[in-house]
Structure 1
């Protein structure tokens, strides 16, 4: 258990069988206190939050009218290509799961394009099984048992779900294996598809276009470099293969709602830790 901003974070190592499908799952506990607000930035994961205490009072896009989710005890956020924001009344007790698109497609058995840039309830994608899972998790205060219940449910649903097209999975791995830039045309040629067919199949099963996924990978790499002591904007821009610093500034504004310079500041980095640790 470690301190993360206004919350205590409870972590347990994921089972190896979940590794290809779950980026992270962790528990969060906060003592009753003042309302807090935190920024969300794209990270190529589908986010599921099982609230065992008070629900969020706001969750949605930062650049548009966010939906009120006070009636969504367990919100599910699809892949985003822009900044988001969450508000909570304080005293949170929840499990947060960041699922890779490969896992989410199998877990929810639905096109991930239907979840992109939106927030729904877990019951909207799992049906009655969502209420059963929430009730079982809320019935115990033992975090080890909670993680075991969650892992068993995820493994069962993923095992029973549809398989991702192996060509889509290969394209996903090529795009997310590292910060290097791989032309989408080269990926399409490697897997033997036309550019249009790759775009259609990839977006259907992943939720965003290959170009958007690659852009977010580059952004995340830049964020990590900017968080290092002594980071220089020009060097980070060159390392991450932005055309120039203006290009990096534009991507940061569109993806995070802040400039790279602000991203490098410790207060913003600390704020991100609640969602992106």
Structure 2
């Protein structure tokens, strides 16, 4: 990487906001990307001290274009294997459990959250190959990813950085595979109900057997329909918790859990933390600071 992070001008069309030691830069992404991209912004962390964050399942794939210091290591909680060391930009597939990231500080990056079917089309890979994994960007997008990151890092202007990334994404979008209409419909049924629609009803509505739905859905989304529903219920509860003042019994009922005990078990299983613990954690760039 030829450049290693700049202060950067926002440029026309980009909006810069400062939060304490963090700078965030946003702008609307192109209309053609809107069905596939959930969030999209640049940021810079000025503090050079190391920190640790907890990543919890969201039902989205993540791309981080590193323009400064890389992540130090990423590892899944409750697993005994070695941590994944990431030395550049990364792609993270859908998760069904918590992950921890140690970072040395001083990061500058652009972070995208993609819908699973958007990631399937942009990456042109079976999404199950990325599930619960973190990969170097070049290993997913090919050697041209390094050149893209170098060009983005070499300019100080955030709008130019966004323009370069948009052009690369739109090119891949034009060449990527189309998700099957049945999988796309199944995904809509699950997301619109925040995971409360029974999988049997989803299969009946798309006209597939349960086994065929599981096979095709997992190929294009990365998680089974049942696990996706579980993650979506959890994610909705996290979003409601972040608004504050929510009674946990009411939260459990609103998000499709049997009771508060069921809610607590799901938080332990999917995030390795209690609802109160997650609600009190400071959110930083799609993660929860530890």
Question: What band does the TM-score fall into relative to the shorter chain?
Answer: over 0.9
Deviates more, 1:7-16 or 1:248-257: 7-16
Output the CA distance in 2 between the equivalents of 1:48 and 1:113.
16
Gaps of 5+ in 1: none
TM-score by length of 2: 0.89
Residue number among 191, 213, 217 corresponding to 2:206 in the alignment: 191
Give the structure 2 partner of residue 170 of structure 1: 185
Output the CA distance in 1 between the equivalents of 2:287 and 2:47.
22
Residue number among 54, 61, 71 corresponding to 1:46 in the alignment: 61
Residue number among 50, 54, 61 corresponding to 2:76 in the alignment: 61
Output the CA distance in 2 between the equivalents of 1:160 and 1:182.
33
Q: Is 1:203–2:218 an aligned residue pair?
A: yes
TM-score by length of 1: 0.93
- Aligned in 2, Cα 1:32/1:248: closer, same or farther, shift over 3 Å? closer
Shift of 1:4: 4.9
Give the structure 2 partner of residue 241 of structure 1: 256
Q: Deviations over 1:2-28 (max 9, x none)?
A: 345752221111112111111111111
Q: Deviations over 1:49-76 (max 9, x none)?
A: 11111110011312224523243x0111
Q: Is 1:112–2:127 an aligned residue pair?
A: yes
Give the structure 1 partner of residue 275 of structure 2: 260
Gaps of 5+ in 2: 1-15
- Aligned in 2, Cα 1:213/1:180: closer, same or farther, shift over 3 Å? closer
Give the structure 2 partner of residue 230 of structure 1: 245
Q: Is 1:215–2:230 an aligned residue pair?
A: yes
Shift of 1:32: 4.5
Give the structure 1 partner of residue 25 of structure 2: 10
Output the CA distance in 2 between the equivalents of 1:193 and 1:231.
38
Shift of 1:224: 2.0
Show structure 1 runs of 4+ deviating over 4 A: none
Give the structure 1 partner of residue 11 of structure 2: none
3-state SS of paired residue (1:94): strand
Give the structure 1 partner of residue 12 of structure 2: none
Q: Deviations over 1:118-172 (max 9, x none)?
A: 1111111111221121111112110001011111111110111111111101101
Asked if the contact 1:4/1:273 (under 8 Å) is kept, the reply is no
Output the CA distance in 2 between the equivalents of 1:180 and 1:209.
12
Output the CA distance in 2 between the equivalents of 1:275 and 1:80.
14
Give the structure 1 partner of residue 89 of structure 2: 74
Residue number among 87, 104, 108 corresponding to 1:93 in the alignment: 108
> What value does the CA root-mean-square deviation take over the aligned residues?
1.7
Output the CA distance in 1 between the equivalents of 2:74 and 2:20.
18
Output the CA distance in 2 between the equivalents of 1:242 and 1:182.
12
Q: Which of the pair is proportionally richer in helix?
A: 1
3-state SS of paired residue (1:24): strand
Output the CA distance in 1 between the equivalents of 2:115 and 2:184.
11
